[in-house]
Amino acid sequence: MSVLSSLSRAYERLPDAPPYGFSSEKIGFCIVLNADGSVHDVIDKRQDDKKRSPAMLLVPQAVKRTAGIAPNFLWDKTAYVLGVTAGEGKRTADEHAKFREMHVQWLAGTQDEGLLALLRFLDAWTADRFTAPVWPEDMRDQNIVFALASEYRERYIHERSGAKEIWQRLGTEGASDPQICLVSGDPAPIARLHPSIKGVWGAQTAGASLVSFNLDAFTSYGHEQGDNAPVSEVATFQYTTALNRFLEKDSGHRLQIGDASTVFWADASGLISEMAESLFAGMFDTPEAAHDDDSIETKKIAAKLERIRRGERLDEVEPQLTQGVRFHVLSLAPNAARLSVRFYWENDFAQLTRNYQAYLEDTKIEPPPRDGWPPLWRYLVELAVLNKRENIPPNLAGEWTRAILTRTPYPMTLLATALMRIRSDGEVNALRAAVLKSVLVRNFNKEAPVALNPTFSDSKGYLLGRLFAAYEEVQREALGRNVNATIKDKFYGAASASPQKVFATLDSGAQNHFTKLRKINAGRAVNLDQLIMSIMDQMSPDKDPIPAFLNAPEQGLFGLGYYHQRSDFFRKRDTKTDSVTETQPETTA
Amino acid sequence: MAHYTITTGMAFAIYCGRHHHFCQIPLARIDFLDKLTLFKGKIMTYGIRLHIWGTHGLFTRPELKVERASYDVITPSAARGILEAIHWKPAIRWIVDRIHVLEPIRFQSIRRNEVGHKAPAGKIRAAMNRGDLADLQILVDQDRQQRASNVLVAPAYVIEAHFDLTAKAGPDDTVGKHLDIFNRRAAKGQCFNQPSLGTREFVAHFALVPPDAVIPSPDGHSWGAMLHAGQTNGAPRPSRAPEAETSDLGFGTPRDLGFMLWDIDHMAPGRPSMFFRATLRDGIVEIPAPGSPDIKR
């Protein structure tokens, strides 16, 4: 199924889906009119929270505004409704004039009390009447709806039956000849412009289009706008409504993965889909809410997630979800006024769980990351310059997530980026080592140890990484912790890429450190010397043990070996064992 | 009659005395064959099978053609384009019957530089009349846009197709002649223009599947396996990777691919698109025949 058809199916399952022709919009104020068109009151609809976020009200669907001036039906921002704006409005007067003109035209001949009141109001209104205290300054640039004083509590003017009738008539007037819709397959009027999609991170705030033909390079066979891809008005409304709903903050359907805004939904009935969706959210993110929320529901989900992470099969954890629950993941990335689909994935939830467990298996590392189980974004941040979320390489996040979901090889840039980050800041932590290991296991079919394996001699990179960590340890023991630039800071990049150039220098440097260490702590010196010997024993001299260059996979293993060996020193330090026998490497293990 | 094994999906041509050329017998009327006088030489199957593969494919969805996203499998019109690149004449019309999907459906997202505009036909016409090429060019480096594409990775298919003679067929145009030309050219790897997998950047390699070959053949390495092993030269046998036989390709339960472009009706005013509901069943997409009610127009 295509993106659009599955979204338009998801619309039908939305619990409070707006009816066709209406959309949920942010409304700040309501102007209450008397029947004669005079202003009875102005009511602040915003919530009491810190940000004074506006209320979400169901209003006639917004028009697609590009460069032109186009008013909405019976509601709009103050520039259109009242002709006032906070900023410098060069065309505010034109916008207000258009709003008035179009409403006179649309509402011509109406007998509806509310609509007549609105017409009278527009007739009498001039922008200079906008003064406090009746008209608060906060009101500027908010969206405005209208209501009649006599029925303010019950309904707004756009909810009156007279208004709805006119809105329906307007909808059918502009309709084109029926064509085959590529979502439903039935003939229907085709949407010319598709409504904007809002809430994609990094896209324009006014929203961006998923389906648009805004240059002639995109059109074919002389078709204009929406005719290039015939999607019916109804299907257009359905997919945009569903997608906008999913992209809303805290909708429980969205994740931010790098620069890609990712939405997900399950093709199932209420409870089952909620369960699948919250499990999925937990697989890739630790939502902030989960920390504060101690409700039984959240704890249940957390317990189930824990079992999935331990590798239990889904049919043991949550058998209901194995009954052919289709799960959809759509990842969107902005490109100016357009959106591009980073990836779209659709499959069984059971398959998803298996693929997710394979990813966990691949990234498993000992010792594990310090702050508990890492969600995907923590890995991604490790791949970004200065560990900033906005510096995550674009595309990498999306491609990696896709590979996790489909259980296919990881993007090659993942290994390259991880190696690059390690080289530039010299830090090899659990997360980075896990990334290295997962690429090696999945893309190169390499055997990569989860924990320190003192007998793993298949890889020159791994051994050299361990050796490098050992030299560093000798230096640390000899010179203490406060060395300005350790050999890691100076040599890690060179040692992992072109070991032949560096290791001779390291070895001679280590002899000096050994001389010093023997005077301070002779036992430790013996231990480390034995360790270095045991590593070198595994390198066969006839097989070029210290090659001129290491390729990317071997560099990955270098990082892994370094991480394992170095963590081992720290672990031993923690357990406070200084006797000769216990720090001996377990060469026979 | 008893000498011929008739399987569903086969196309037949018989020599028709009244029209003095080969006529196609609709499959639904195969029971009438008994009543017709058939003898060897006058009945022939003229379906062809072509194995196609490449490193990438991009069969652009119309709704997502700006930031391009591909259909899951090759569209019938893209398959037709590949056949036409090998042999086409106004006398024949290619009809794709069936598409075998040989590899798992995998996507990759790439970013490319593309040009922002088309060469305007009106300006070209004016320049031709004027006899002067001034201001006609589109400068790539000045009109460049970066756009994303979701492309297919290592697609491989076997296309089953046949052709009909059109109204433009003259007395010399026999089915056998065009079939021979096609088979000869395809076997030699000849083509009039380089066929592509959806867009010109993604070259389509092709090999004729011998009439007696079983598809997908159970032996031999699949294209994807060869690609991963670094052996990208030579024509692989059209076999399906065992790892591809999953529910993704409709093994077990058929997989609904949604509405897919069948072709564009270039004869009708406005050149409307025609769609059909594509379903993957055991790795095969059946393409509805022209005029079938399954084609929405």
Residue A589: predicted pLDDT: 38
- Residue A332 pLDDT level (bands cut at 50, 70, 90): very high
Residue B192: predicted pLDDT: 94
Mutation for A interface: B65, B66, B115, B145, most A CBs within 10 A: B66
Smallest Cα distance from A84 to chain B, Å: 37
Average pLDDT over residues A243-257: 88
Decide if B144 touches A, using CB distance below 8 A.
no
Smallest Cα distance from A493 to chain B, Å: 29
A214 contacts B66? CB cut-off 8 A: yes
A229 contacts B62? CB cut-off 8 A: yes
State both tokens at A519. 């005077």
pLDDT higher than 60, residue B25: no
Among the partner-chain residues A180, A211, A347, the one whose CB lies closest to the CB of B275 is: A180
Among the partner-chain residues A211, A335, A406, the one whose CB lies closest to the CB of B63 is: A211
Decide if B113 touches A, using CB distance below 8 A.
no
Which residues share a beta bridge with A586?
Answer: none
What residue of A is the nearest CA neighbor of B297?
A: A180
- Residue A556 pLDDT level (bands cut at 50, 70, 90): very high
In whole angstroms, what is the distance from residue A344 CA to residue A339 CA? 13
A chain contacts of residue B75, beta-carbon cutoff 8 Å: none
Q: State pLDDT tens for residues A36-66.
A: 888 888 888 888 888 888 888 888 888 877 7
Give the distance, in angstroms, between the CA of residue B285 and the centroid of all CA atoms in the same chain. 12
Question: Shortest CA distance to B195 belongs to which of B176, B288, B186, B187?
Answer: B186
Average pLDDT over residues A388-410: 88
| DSSP assignment string, A222-257 | T--GGGGS--BHHHHHHHHHHHHHHHSTT-SSEEEE
Amino acid at A184: S
Residue B31: predicted pLDDT: 40
Instruction: Return residues 197-226 of A near B (CB < 8 Å).
Output: 210-219, 221-223
In whole angstroms, what is the distance from residue B17 CA to residue A534 CA? 91
- Residue A573 pLDDT level (bands cut at 50, 70, 90): low
Which range has the worst mean pLDDT, A69-78, A137-146, A462-471, B31-40?
B31-40
Smallest Cα distance from A460 to chain B, Å: 23
pLDDT higher than 80, residue A287: no
Q: Of A7-21, A215-229, B180-194, give the range with the top mean pLDDT.
A: B180-194
Decide if B288 touches A, using CB distance below 8 A.
no
Residue B228: predicted pLDDT: 60
- Residue B221 pLDDT level (bands cut at 50, 70, 90): low
Q: State pLDDT tens for residues B229-287.
A: 655 545 556 777 677 778 888 888 889 999 999 999 988 888 889 999 999 988 899 99
In whole angstroms, what is the distance from residue A103 CA to residue B92 CA? 58
State both tokens at B288. 């509805």
- Residue A585 pLDDT level (bands cut at 50, 70, 90): very low
In whole angstroms, what is the distance from residue A316 CA to residue A53 CA? 43
B258 contacts A2? CB cut-off 8 A: yes
Among the partner-chain residues A2, A333, A351, the one whose CB lies closest to the CB of B61 is: A2
Instruction: Return residues 387-416 of A near B (CB < 8 Å).
Output: 395, 398-399, 402, 406, 408
Answer yes or no: are the C-beta atoms of A394 and A383 closer than 8 Å. no
Decide if A445 touches B, using CB distance below 8 A.
no
State both tokens at B76. 């019938």
Which range has the worst mean pLDDT, A157-166, A233-242, A289-298, B285-294?
A289-298
Q: State pLDDT tens for residues A199-236.
A: 898 888 888 989 988 888 888 888 888 889 999 989 99
Residue B260: predicted pLDDT: 95
- Predicted complex: ipTM over 0.85: no
Percent of the residues in chain A that have a pLDDT greater than 70, as a whole number: 95
In whole angstroms, what is the distance from residue A180 CA to residue B63 CA? 13
- Residue B86 pLDDT level (bands cut at 50, 70, 90): very high
B chain contacts of residue A401, beta-carbon cutoff 8 Å: none
Mutation for B interface: A218, A231, A257, most B CBs within 10 A: A218
pLDDT higher than 80, residue A132: no
- Residue B195 pLDDT level (bands cut at 50, 70, 90): very high
- Exposure of A283 by Cβ count < 10 A (0-12 exposed, 13-18 middle, 19+ buried)? buried
B66 contacts A3? CB cut-off 8 A: no
A chain contacts of residue B108, beta-carbon cutoff 8 Å: 399
Average pLDDT over residues A404-417: 91
Residue B237: predicted pLDDT: 60
Q: Which residue has the tokens 């989900």?
A: A301
Give the distance, in angstroms, between the CA of residue B124 and the centroid of all CA atoms in the same chain. 32
Smallest Cα distance from A210 to chain B, Å: 7
Average pLDDT over residues A185-209: 87
pLDDT higher than 80, residue A173: no
Question: Shortest CA distance to A556 belongs to which of A399, A470, A449?
Answer: A449
Task: Please report the number of interchain residue pairs, chain A to chain B, with beta-carbon separation below 8 angstroms.
Answer: 106
B chain contacts of residue A3, beta-carbon cutoff 8 Å: 64, 69
Residue B224: predicted pLDDT: 60
- Residue B21 pLDDT level (bands cut at 50, 70, 90): very low
pLDDT higher than 60, residue B110: yes
The answer for A367, left when phi > 0, alpha when psi is -120 to 50, beta otherwise, is beta
Answer yes or no: are the C-beta atoms of A552 and A416 closer than 8 Å. yes
pLDDT higher than 80, residue A421: yes
- Residue A248 pLDDT level (bands cut at 50, 70, 90): confident
Q: Where are the beta strands (DSSP E) in chain B?
A: 12-16, 21-25, 43-45, 48-53, 56-57, 68-69, 92-101, 107-115, 144-153, 156-165, 205-208, 255-264, 273-281, 284-286
In whole angstroms, what is the distance from residue A414 CA to residue A552 CA? 11
Residue B28: predicted pLDDT: 40
Residues 6+ apart with CB under 8 A from A189: A175, A176, A177, A178, A179, A232, A233
Q: State pLDDT tens for residues A83-128.
A: 888 887 788 888 888 898 888 888 888 888 888 888 888 888 888 8
